[in-house]
Every structure is written in structure tokens, then in C-alpha cells.
Chain A
């Protein structure tokens, strides 16, 4: 066991090591903002990114999540398709003449209440099917979802199935295998 001060120092150094993806991503954003790749941009961006990472530390997520390429491509393909369909649906509801559809709020119990997967599922479900997350409860793993046109789905059960399907794709992309096993999704 080391003294508290060296422990803090080591944590700060360790933060650098495991937050390199964040530093890399922030550097890419910086370079994109300047619009051309030069040494000054890359080094300046990396220095700024390191400063941001040290000044605003975030909890570590790598040990709770993995990344699988093939499920990610499936998730991405489905996400883009759903985004296009959902956008034109909502646009059509907005411009067509006649009465507006009835909305509803549906409670959806997710398989895994872990913050990371709950957040990703909530953000994606707000963008894609005809749904909008109104309230999220991390302690129970429940999402409360507003549906624009409940008649378009066949009742709340279909909304639930939709969101849980999305969650399954998110878990297959990001969750470690023991989580998948616990949720009955292995294989």
C-alpha cells in the first residue's frame, strides 16, 4: 500500500493510459474542426484533449463493455433504416390533413439496468421507432416511452417488443458475454 498522495498521482497517470481512446477522439474532433491535418493541429489537439481528460475525468467503462464489429454493423444498418422510416412517418403525420393521432406513454422493462446500456438504448430509441423516452429509471431498469401514434403500433405490447429488440442489438454490440448470458441472449 502506498501513501495517499502517490496513490492519487498513480491514478492520474493511470487515467492517461486507459483514457487514450477519449484523447484520440477529441484530437480527431479538433483536427476536423480546423479542417486540415498539420503537425500543429494534431499536437495542439492532443495537448488540449489530454488537458480535458485530466481536468474532467469520467468513470471508466471499458471493463463493463466490449465492442463487437458484426453486431455493430447490424445495429447501424437497422438504425439508419429505422431513422429514415421514422422521419418520413413523423413528417407525413405532420403534413397530412385530418385529425392528429393519439399518443400514449408505455412502460418498458429492459433486461439490463446498467447505466451504459440503458443510456445507449434510450438515446437510440428516441431517434428511431415512433418513440421518445420521457423518463428513465436506472434503479429499476425501466424506460417510460411516449409514442406519437399508438394506433400505428398494435398496442403497448408491440412498442415494448420494439424497444426490447433495440436493446438486444445494443447488448449484442456492447455487453460482455457474462451479461449476455445473464440476459439469456448467448449464442
Chain B
């Protein structure tokens, strides 16, 4: 059995932190590029939900591994939880509003199985 040096875990945490920071930075960058390059509102929403959320999560994991203080980690965990809870809802509402106000070029969607009756129907619609 080889002896583990005292600084081993610190060094390992630093390496993992560096990897997380790099991966998170790449994803966040790609999310920005996507928001610029993608041609439609809906495609941009993909870019600002998936890579952006995971990019932020990875950046915060890297940060948590580097700062190693419980109060900071608690705050970072809260940021992750609220990001996961709110990002999809925000994206959904923006896409829905865009669809209903005709900001989406529906001819680009193949197939487009959207329900044509975009009146808010059902028990929550009226009154």
C-alpha cells in the first residue's frame, strides 16, 4: 500500500475544481454563442436553459471545491436549486408568449403539431 501524502486530497480537490470551472465556462460560453447564432426564439430558449444551467452548476461546484467553507457552499447549493426550479419555467413562459403573439416563424417547424386553437381553454381559461 502506498502512503497517501497529506496534501493529496487538497490537490485532488483543486484539480477537480479546475476541471469543473473549465467545463462550466465552456458550457456558459456555448450558451452565449447559441443565443447569438440560433435563428429563432425557440432555439434560443434551448440554449439558455440546458447548457447555461449545467454550466452554472459546474462553475459553482468548482467554486465550492475551491473555497471549502460551509456557509459559502450552502449559498451555492441554494443558487443551484433555484436555478433548476426557475430556468425551465422562465423558458416555457417566454416560448409560450412568443408563440401566442406570433413571434415564432411556424413555417420553419417541421412537423408543427401545435394545437391551432391557442385560446386559453379549459377550466382555468374563463372568468
Contacts and interface: CB of A to CB of B under 8 A. Distances in A.
B117 to A, nearest CB: 10
Interface in A104-153: 104-107, 122-124, 126-128, 130, 132-140, 142, 144, 146, 148, 150
Contacts of B74: 31-33, 35
Nearest to A126: B88
A140 B46 CA distance: 25
Contacts of B89: 123
A132 B75 contact: no
A103 B88 contact: no
A33 B99 contact: no
Contacts of B87: 127
Q: Please tell me the size bucket of the interface on B.
A: 35 or more
Contacts of A142: 115
Contacts of B46: 90, 130, 132, 146, 148
Contacts of A102: 108, 110
Interface string A78-96: 0000011011111111110
Contacts of A88: 27, 51
Contacts of B75: 32-33, 35
Interface of B: 26-27, 29-31, 33-34, 37-40, 42-43, 45-47, 49-51, 53-55, 70-72, 74-75, 77-78, 84-85, 87-89, 91-92, 95-96, 99, 108-115, 118, 121-124
9 contacts: A33-B78, A35-B75, A102-B110, A103-B108, A122-B92, A135-B118, A137-B115, A139-B123, A144-B115
Closest 6 CB pairs of A and B: A35-B71, A94-B34, A91-B30, A139-B122, A126-B88, A87-B54
